[in-house]
Amino acid sequence: MSSPMEISLQNPPDAELCKPNGVSQTEPSPFSPVEKVLVSVEVCLKPSSTARIADVQTAVERMLEKRSLTYTDGPVPVPIDDPFLLENVKRIRICDTDECLENHEILLFWQVKPVVHVFQLNEEGPGEELSGDELLSSFNEWVLPAKEFDGMWESLIYETGLKKRLLQYAASALLFTEKGVDPCLVSWNRIVLLHGPPGTGKTSLCKALAQKLSIRFSSRYSQCQLIEVNAHSLFSKWFSESGKLVAKLFQKIQEMVEEESNLVFVLIDEVESLAAARQAALSGSEPSDSIRVVNALLTQMDRLKSWPNVIILTTSNITTAIDIAFVDRADIKAYVGPPTLQARYEILRSCFQELLRTGILSSQEHDQLILLSYASLREKLNAVEAQAPLGPLFLSKLLLEAAEVCEGLSGRALRKLPFLAHAASTSPYNCDASKFLSSLIETAKRELSEL
């Protein structure tokens, strides 16, 4: 078996890995071939749309050709003079360019080959196919791309390049399988393990990754499902029944993967509880049934591995090396650490922008409501003019102070912080942005003191 790849989500990757090959900012010579950068453009259809995917794809490609602008992450307005797109398309979004580019780089239209992915969100919510037996609260099932996970990928903030690398590893694994690469000659698995402290977004990242892949591979796989298994709940509830339930669940997954146009993601959360259960059973503090459950799970995973259209995503809250048989099976192991200063700033900035958008926060002086990105703020603060009064930088500077204070808080805690600060505010219906930030800093200090 190949040794697992360890990706540290803390250390930026080799910059060359992400850099668009051969891209220069000057106009190309008409005689030299330009290596274009592939940029994903995601097109979400309206729930009411019945248009053919291929027609929408062609229409968007044509529209992008005419657009002749730069490519940066974010929405592209649906042109008002295109009734077909207006009727069918909910939104168009350029994705993941920020994961490839370094500061100040921009992608001009002639450097880019847009890859258009058209999809419609499934609005049915988690499936209840397993109802009728005790499986229900241990397993959840979604048809992807699902409405619940819309925007989740974008909302997760890590170091530059990290999400892209994860996406590329998973995409390569699917491609190798699809092309029939002989596993005796080149070995790889489709098992991903994300490990790190609680609240760092591991489970969300797995779900968001599944959602992304379902969109990116929609032309190859017409159906896509995510099954979420909470390993912990398997052991806490049904010691004697668990073995049978695991077998039953994997039987169901097996049926799904037998359909080759299905892409199936199996998310097993908190896998460390497998090791804990095994340990407890060996020491006699838990029924030996749990050993059988762990073994059943591992055996079933080994069986599933041989299917080309399944990806197993797992998470663990254990931060040190996890020494279980299971880990050996993971091909991609990635450590997801607490958010860095930049990530903390960007997480808080996104919270703040949401509160501004919804009118919960406001300011008497409108120009104070500018919140710069971390990179722009750093650049401005380093510049000579920074000696001058802060002016419109005021709010961003205060946000940076808040992000600095929040060192040690998880992403989950950070996303709750603005709510807690608001709840503690004396004037909840008329919240001034800068006062709110000061109260956020106080709330963060209090939260940290209680850790």
- Give me the least distance between CB of 375 and ligand ADP, in Å please: 17
Distance of CA 438 to the CA centre of its chain: 30
Q: C-alpha angle with apex 192: 188 to 193, nearest 5 degrees? A: 130
CB closer to ligand ADP, 145 vs 337 = 337
DSSP string, 286-326: S-THHHHHHHHHHHHHHHHHT-TTEEEEEEE---S---SHH
Number of neighbours of residue 326 by Cβ within 10 angstroms: 23
- Give me the least distance between CB of 159 and ligand ADP, in Å please: 10
* Residue range at the interface with ligand ADP (CB under 6 A); choices 242-250, 296-304, 367-375, 411-419: 411-419
Can you say whether residue 45 is alpha, beta or left, with left for phi > 0 and alpha for psi between -120 and 50 degrees? beta
* Residue 51, both tokens: 């248009």
- Give me the least distance between CB of 179 and ligand ADP, in Å please: 32
- CA nearest 339: which of 324, 349, 352? 349
- Give me the least distance between CB of 284 and ligand ADP, in Å please: 30
* Residue pointed to by tokens 């709510």: 419
Answer whether 231's CB lies under 8 Å from 318's CB.
no
Q: Report how far apart, in Å, the C-alpha atoms of 437 and of each of 151, 234, 443 are.
A: 25, 42, 10
Q: Count residues near ligand ADP (CB under 6 A).
A: 18
Answer whether 440's CB lies under 8 Å from 417's CB.
yes
Count the residues in the chain: 451
* Residue pointed to by tokens 């006062």: 435
CB closer to ligand ADP, 42 vs 270 = 270
- Give me the least distance between CB of 345 and ligand ADP, in Å please: 11
Asked whether position 156 contacts ligand ADP by CB under 6 A, the answer is yes
Amino acid at 351: C
CB closer to ligand ADP, 60 vs 318 = 318
- Nearest residue by C-beta to ligand ADP? 411
Coil, helix or strand at residue 213: helix
Tell me the C-alpha distance between 370 and 363, whole Å: 11
CB closer to ligand ADP, 214 vs 342 = 342
Which stretches does DSSP call E strand in 320-371? 332-335, 361-362
CB closer to ligand ADP, 74 vs 391 = 74
Can you say whether residue 326 is alpha, beta or left, with left for phi > 0 and alpha for psi between -120 and 50 degrees? alpha
Contacts of 345 (CB under 8 A, 6+ apart): 374, 377, 399, 400, 403
Coil, helix or strand at residue 66: helix
- Give me the least distance between CB of 123 and ligand ADP, in Å please: 20
**Burial of 75 from C-beta contacts in 10 A (0-12 / 13-18 / 19+):** exposed
Asked whether position 339 contacts ligand ADP by CB under 6 A, the answer is yes
* Residue range at the interface with ligand ADP (CB under 6 A); choices 15-23, 129-137, 154-162, 183-191: 154-162
Tell me the C-alpha distance between 162 and 50, whole Å: 36
* Residue 57, both tokens: 């794809």
Asked whether position 146 contacts ligand ADP by CB under 6 A, the answer is no
Asked whether position 415 contacts ligand ADP by CB under 6 A, the answer is yes
Asked whether position 411 contacts ligand ADP by CB under 6 A, the answer is yes
Instruction: Tell me which residues in 190-209 interact with ligand ADP (CB under 6 A).
Output: 198-204
* Residue range at the interface with ligand ADP (CB under 6 A); choices 77-85, 150-158, 366-374, 388-396: 150-158
- Give me the least distance between CB of 352 and ligand ADP, in Å please: 13
CB closer to ligand ADP, 112 vs 266 = 266
* Residue pointed to by tokens 């896998």: 271
CB closer to ligand ADP, 239 vs 335 = 335
- Give me the least distance between CB of 21 and ligand ADP, in Å please: 28
Answer whether 378's CB lies under 8 Å from 103's CB.
no
- Give me the least distance between CB of 451 and ligand ADP, in Å please: 16
User: Which of 113, 237, 412, 445 is in the footprint of ligand ADP by CB under 6 A?
Assistant: 412
- Give me the least distance between CB of 160 and ligand ADP, in Å please: 13
- Give me the least distance between CB of 327 and ligand ADP, in Å please: 17
Asked whether position 408 contacts ligand ADP by CB under 6 A, the answer is no
Tell me the C-alpha distance between 415 and 348, whole Å: 7
CB closer to ligand ADP, 89 vs 402 = 402
- Give me the least distance between CB of 64 and ligand ADP, in Å please: 29
CB closer to ligand ADP, 37 vs 334 = 334
Instruction: Tell me which residues in 341-370 interact with ligand ADP (CB under 6 A).
Output: 343, 347
Asked whether position 157 contacts ligand ADP by CB under 6 A, the answer is yes
Which residues would be at the binding site for ligand ADP (CB under 6 A)? Answer: 155-158, 198-204, 315, 339, 343, 347, 411-412, 415
